[in-house]
């Protein structure tokens, strides 16, 4: 059977059940061979804080974060955020192809289900109501669908953008933390944050800061890409 690749749209023969490092048991092949070849699993020596591949124990960016905040994150990611992965995320988030959430589901589950089980709270990074309206789904809960029953989606909330746009740039930087907590106490609990991509680290540091302020014992994070 011929199918169109969900990322590049090329027509390809999807008959072969493929077995490779990335998806040993995946039944339906949603990506062409060319796209699959561009997926880079993160491996080797990594920064202890952000999980990027580097020979430095703590990378330069994370040294900056450690100065800015009085904690350090422990982030783990699965895939290198290369050009192909940028295309994948664009197709998933902005074109809105919700089927793409399935591509890395099995691999994410294999690698992280134990971490997820061991955490007291598993919190996906929220998106604003407006973004949810436009996109129709939260890309993070989609990617980590296998862990949905463990997710607390109400505790962490994101401020609406309008609220911030009234402020000038300086006030904005001061009040830059976009996140706040509601409901359940996370005091003395371990929290695992889930996100789609670790880029600058701003989102995860902001959310971790809010959680630590509320008494969290330890905050770790997992992202699909880094």
Binding footprint of Zn ion on the chain (CB under 5 A):
5, 7-8, 32, 35, 47, 49-50, 59, 62
Nearest distance from residue 47's CB to Zn ion, in Å? 3
Of the candidates 165, 125, 120, 161, the one whose C-alpha atom is nearest the C-alpha of residue 141 is 125
Q: Quick one: 80 or 214, whose CB is closer to Zn ion?
A: 80
Partners of residue 2 on adjacent β-strands: 13
Query: Smallest distance, Å, CB 7 to Zn ion?
Result: 5
CA distance 217 to 211: 9
Nearer to Zn ion, 63 or 214 (CB): 63
Could you give the residue ranges of the DSSP H alpha helices within the chain? 33-37, 60-68, 83-89, 105-118, 129-135, 139-143, 161-165, 169-174, 202-213
Tell me how far, at minimum, the Cβ of 205 lies from Zn ion, in Å. 11
How far apart CA 86 and CA 12 sit, in angstroms, is 22
CB of 129 to Zn ion, least distance (A): 32
Structure tokens belonging to residue 148? 């949905």
Residue closer to Zn ion, measured from CB, 31 or 194 = 31
Of 52 and 93, the one with the shorter C-beta distance to Zn ion is 52
| CB closer to Zn ion, 83 vs 162 | 83
3-state SS class at 107: helix
| Number of neighbouring beta carbons within 10 Å of residue 218 | 16
Least distance CB 4 / Zn ion (angstroms)? 9
């Amino acid at each position: 059977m011929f199918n169109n690749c969900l990322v590049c749209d090329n027509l390809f023969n999807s008959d072969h059940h493929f077995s490779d490092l990335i998806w040993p048991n995946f039944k339906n092949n949603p990506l062409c061979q060319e796209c699959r070849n561009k997926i880079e699993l993160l491996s080797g020596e990594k920064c202890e804080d952000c999980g990027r591949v580097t020979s430095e124990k703590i990378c330069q960016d994370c040294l900056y974060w450690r100065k800015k905040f009085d904690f350090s994150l422990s982030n783990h990611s699965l895939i290198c955020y290369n050009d192909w992965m940028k295309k994948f995320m664009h197709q998933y988030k902005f074109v809105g192809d919700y089927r793409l959430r399935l591509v890395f589901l099995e691999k994410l589950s294999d690698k992280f289900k134990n971490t997820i089980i061991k955490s007291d709270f598993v919190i996906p990074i929220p998106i604003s109501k407006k973004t949810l309206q436009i996109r129709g789904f939260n890309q993070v809960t989609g990617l980590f669908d296998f862990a949905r029953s463990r997710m607390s989606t109400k505790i962490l909330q994101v401020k609406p953008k309008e609220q911030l746009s009234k402020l000038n740039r300086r006030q904005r930087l001061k009040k830059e933390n976009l996140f706040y907590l509601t409901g359940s106490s996370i005091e003395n609990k371990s929290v695992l944050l889930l996100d789609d991509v670790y880029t600058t680290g701003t989102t995860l540091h902001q959310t971790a800061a809010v959680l630590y302020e509320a008494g969290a014992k330890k905050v770790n994070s997992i992202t699909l890409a880094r």
